[in-house]
Each structure stands twice: as structure tokens, then as C-alpha cells.
Structure 1
């Protein structure tokens, strides 16, 4: 007796077929099968309407996908969200019982960048389910390997949701000053190490003159974060202060801002970059150490050449 695979081999899992299967998995009202003869999806009622063509060997059930599977993905995503404000909001939303799916979607839609990250994460998880199902049915997947789980937004998504600017007028300077005070107040309310960092940063700000800025705006023109720096005589650009507004943290926005800053000063012939780290930002040193950075107390010294040559540019004007 012939096996299913001998009679009807699985069709090539093309991106189109994969997306069709994912769409059908999410349809909770109908039942779908993969017609191994045609390589197309069919609904259960279509098969029942023509019993003459029915064959258990010909029709393969697509992966099961229940509301519990969707909930599991939402819970997994929520625990991976780096921004503590949104992580807590999402995890609390999952405890409300009735209406949990709507509540979750409402929260992620508050922040377009977070919403894009959610959809990318959800698509990847469902792709994995389809690939696992395909393998379990002896399919030879002829697609490239899946990418790792997205821990940060990709640069193209950040470019869609944030504008990087450097021109500062009186209104913009006032917005930067107000955000700076918010960030300083956070340090003042923090632990002992953060309070000490506050003293260090205040001293830096007081002694710094002729500061320049590069900042990120949402598509609505809302200031999301900025970098304040000064140009020293020794071919060095020193970042005196920087910060990201709380609701935009954990999205990779600082790296996006820093990349634009590095390329901007590099075009001015400035090879050295000094970053002052304090409080929770001390952990950012791991971003620079692979660039052969030298840790000097709470400062990290790297070269713009090392950074620019090792990163994919997020600065379109630099290309």
C-alpha cells in the first residue's frame, strides 16, 4: 500500500503558499486542507460538496491554530518588550480575561514602532509553526533559514517611524531642554549609583559650551530623544548628554541616533568620538566595546571609522 508521500508529495513551500496557510490558520470560522494534488488550499465544505474526489491521502490538514496559541505569542512578546512601561501594560492586559485580544491590540497601537515590532514577531512565530508542520510531514523546505527573533526593530522600520534632524531653533531647543530636565529628574529619583551619575552629568553640562544636537522626531513631530555633543580641539566629538523618552525606549532608537551622529561628524573630518555614560546607560558600553572601544571611567572612546565600517548605514544622506 502506497504511503501519502509516495502518492502525493508535498508541494514546494513557496512564500505565497506559506502566507496562504498562515491566513487560513487565523480563520477561526472555517476548516482548511492542503490539496496535495493541486498544491492549493481548499475549505472543508468544498471537499464535502464533491465526495467523488475525496481522498484521505490527497488532503492534508493545515496546522492547528487556536486562540490559546495566539495568547501564547502575545505573552511571549510582552515578556520580550524592553520598555518597562509597555511591558507592564501589556502583561496587565493579558490578565483582564474577556476582551484580552482587543485590549492587547489597543495598547500596541499606541506606539506605531511597537506595533510594527509586534506584527513582525507574530509573523515570525506563525512561520515557525508552518515550517514545523511541513517538516513533520516529510517536506523538504526549500526556503532560506528563518531569521533570529527580532530583539530590536530593523533600521528600515525605525526610518519609517522616526525622523532624524539636527537643525535647532528656539522652539526645538526649549523642547530639548524640557526633555533633558525630565531625564535628569529620573536620575535624581533613582538609586545611589544613578544619583552619583547625576552629579557627574550636571558638571559636564555646566562646563560645556557651544553644544550641538541631533534628535529623533516621531512622524507627528514629537521629540522622542536626542544627543547633545560638542566638538573639541583634538579632532574629537564628545557626547555630553543623551536620552530617549521613556515610552520610546527599548526600540533601538539610541543606536539609530548614534549612527546618524557618527556619520554626521565623520563627514566633518572628526575621527574620534567620546561618549559619557551614566546611570542605567553605563550598560551601553557593550555597544561600543566590539568597535575596539577603550573604557575610560564612565567614558568610551572609539573612532567613527570603526563604527561606520562595521554598521549598515541608517543615514540615507550618507549613501
Structure 2
């Protein structure tokens, strides 16, 4: 007997997979779940077994999520929970509660992964029924970044102190494995660059809905009064908000704004570029020349070679 995998049924199956105390079946006649029991058992016609799922699968899903995190603090704490040896699932949940934004992303990640798994199982059934497969990837249903944060234009009078706090934290993090003196040197260098053309600065700020700074990007003409070349003086994200896509969102807004203003050259210099950000720069058309990254928004950087 054929049944349709509706959104509601797909979500119900996903939740049932995580229930290790009861076993459920799909009743094809009513397209709903029923609990397996004395009078209800799988028969491959009306009552279908759910795809297999156990605690090992759940653990692998948690590992996949953590391995894809780029938020250092949450990553470290969640890795510790996964390898604690006992009470792993409870420990994982307890750690997530300390990182509400990461917790939301976990639930979204888990939901999509389970729905993809259920859709794959359903496609196997469709093949046995002689029907074509359906797309197994669930549709994107929300933009978590827009749900959790607001983006607005940078205002030096209102945002400068928050931006400098992010700068100092980034410098401290960059020099953490070397020495406090190096962190101070980074902070001094970056602040000098950040304030070199304060009156001409433009940029974007990302804030949580309760007004806390989450990240910022700032640029100004270089040399001063130039209408063609601009220096990105800072791109910083608050420590607990890293790995959520904020840096990419700010960077994309910056490049779009500079293009709209007719800028040609965009320069990033005298700053620490993490490996993850280097990939973003390459994808955005930047080229590394010496220790500086440059993008030609109007032409071909090969002309510089």
C-alpha cells in the first residue's frame, strides 16, 4: 500500500527515530504513525517499519555538527562533552544551553539531517513501488542569521567603542599562543590602522536583538580622499558569535556597498587573516600580493603581476 510522505509525517518520523523507548510504524492507510504492539506489527503492506536509528547514529550526528563548527569556545566545550565517557547526550545538551545561538543551529542542523535521512528511506520505498524518486533535500525554511541579528550601517559616534572592544579581543586571541606583549602589539597596530581615517569611515555593524555588538566591518578611502581605492580597516566578530556566518555576511555587505559606490580597489593589509577567511577572500576575487590582499572590483588583478 502506497502512502504520501507529507511534511507532518516526515517530522513525526524524525521525532520517533529519537525515541529509544518505543517503536513506531507507518500506517499507510491513514498516513500516520502508530505504536508497534501485540495487534500491530510490520507487514510491508499497510504497516511499515521506520528506518533504523540508534544512539550510535545520534552520536555521529552530534560529531558531524561539532566538527563543522567554527566557534572556538563552543567547539572546545562540545568536544569535551562528546568525549567525557559518560552521560554524553545529557552533557551535550547542557553545554548547548550555554550557547543559545549554537543551540538553535544544532536543532536546525539535526532537523535537516533527520529529514534528509527519512526522505532517503521513503525514496527506497517509492522505488519498490515502481515510482520515481523525489528530491531528498528538505527545503530551506529559515534564515537563522536574520532571525537572531540585525545589520545596520556603521556610525562612528555610536559604534566606535564597541568596535574597538572587538578589535582588542581579536588582538588578544591572535596573540594568545605567543605572549601578552604580542597581543598588545597587534592591538596597537590594528587600532592605528582602524583610526587612520576615522572621519571618512563607513561600514556595517551586526547586533543581537538586545543591542549587543556581534560584529563589524569598517573601511575608508586609501589614500585619504580617494574615490577608487579603499582599505578595510577592521572585520571583527564577537568571540561567542564566531562560526555563525556573521563575518561572511558583513563582508558581503561591504563589497556590495563598495561596488555600488564605484570603488575599484579593495585592500586588506596589516592584519591576521584566519585560514577560513582566506577561502572567503579567494572566492570573492581577492588575490594575495606579498602580505596584502587586493581585489579589483572593475577589472583583472593579473594586470598587477
> Per the alignment, do residues 156 and 133 of structure 1 end up closer, same or farther by CA in structure 2, a change over 3 Å counting?
closer
Which residue matches 1:243? 236
Whether the aligned pair in 1 keeps the contact of 2:120 and 2:136 (CA below 8 Å) is no
- The alignment status of 1:146 with 2:137, answered yes or no, reads yes
Could you state the TM-score of these two structures normalised by the residue count of structure 1? 0.75
Tell me how far apart the structure 1 counterparts of residues 156 and 189 of structure 2 sit (CA, whole Å). 27
Q: How does 1:288-307 map to 2 (within 5 A)?
A: 288-303=281-296
Query: In the aligned structure 1, how far is the partner of 2:298 from the partner of 2:178?
Result: 36
* Runs of 4 or more above 6 Å deviation: none
Could you list the per-position Cα deviations for residues 71-97 of structure 1 after superposition, in whole angstroms to 9, with x for gaps in the alignment? 221122122212221111011122445
- 1:156-175 equivalences under 5 Å are 156-168=143-155, 170=157, 172-175=159-162
Alignment of 1:98-113 (within 5 A): 99-113=87-101
> Residue 24 of structure 1 aligns with which residue?
16
Per the alignment, do residues 298 and 215 of structure 1 end up closer, same or farther by CA in structure 2, a change over 3 Å counting? farther
Aligned twin of 2:107: 119
Cα offset, 1:292, TM superposition: 3.5
Over residues 234-265 of structure 1, what are the superposed CA-to-partner deviations in whole Å (9 max), with x where a residue is unaligned?
42231022221222222221110112222333
Q: What are the within-5 Å matches in structure 2 for residues 208-227 of structure 1?
A: 208-210=197-199, 211-227=201-217
Structure 1 position 275 matched with structure 2 position 268: yes
How far off is 1:32 after superposition? 1.4
Structure 2 residue ranges without an equivalent (≥5): 300-305
Q: Aligned with 1:70: secondary structure?
A: helix
Correspondent of 2:165 among 178, 190, 204? 178
Distance 1:277 1:64, change over 3 A: farther
- Contact 1:282–1:298 (8 Å) recurs in 2: no
Describe the SS at the equivalent of 1:48: coil
> Which ranges in structure 1 are unaligned for 5 or more consecutive residues?
1-7, 307-319
Q: Is the 8 A contact 2:116 2:138 kept in 1?
A: no
Structure 1's 220 and 106: CA in aligned 2 closer, same or farther, altered over 3 A? Answer: farther
Q: What TM-score do the two structures reach when normalised by structure 2?
A: 0.78
Q: Residues 204 and 166 from structure 1, CA distance in 2 versus in 1: closer, same or farther, beyond 3 angstroms?
A: same
Match for residue 314 of structure 1? Answer: none
**2-side partners of 1:155 and 1:299: how far apart?**
37
Q: CA deviation at 1:99?
A: 4.2
CA contact (8 A) 1:108 1:115 kept: yes
8 Å CA contact 2:287, 2:295 repeated in 1: yes
Aligned counterparts of 1:167 and 1:293: Cα–Cα separation in 2 = 23
Aligned length: 289
Counterpart CA distance in 2 for 1:282 and 1:145 is 32
Task: Give me the whole-angstrom Cα distance separating, in 1, the residues matched to 2:171 and 2:134.
Answer: 49
Report the equivalent of 1:74.
62
2:175 to 170, 178, 188: 188
Check if 1:228 corresponds to 2:215: no
Distance in 2, Cα, partners of 1:171 & 1:203: 19
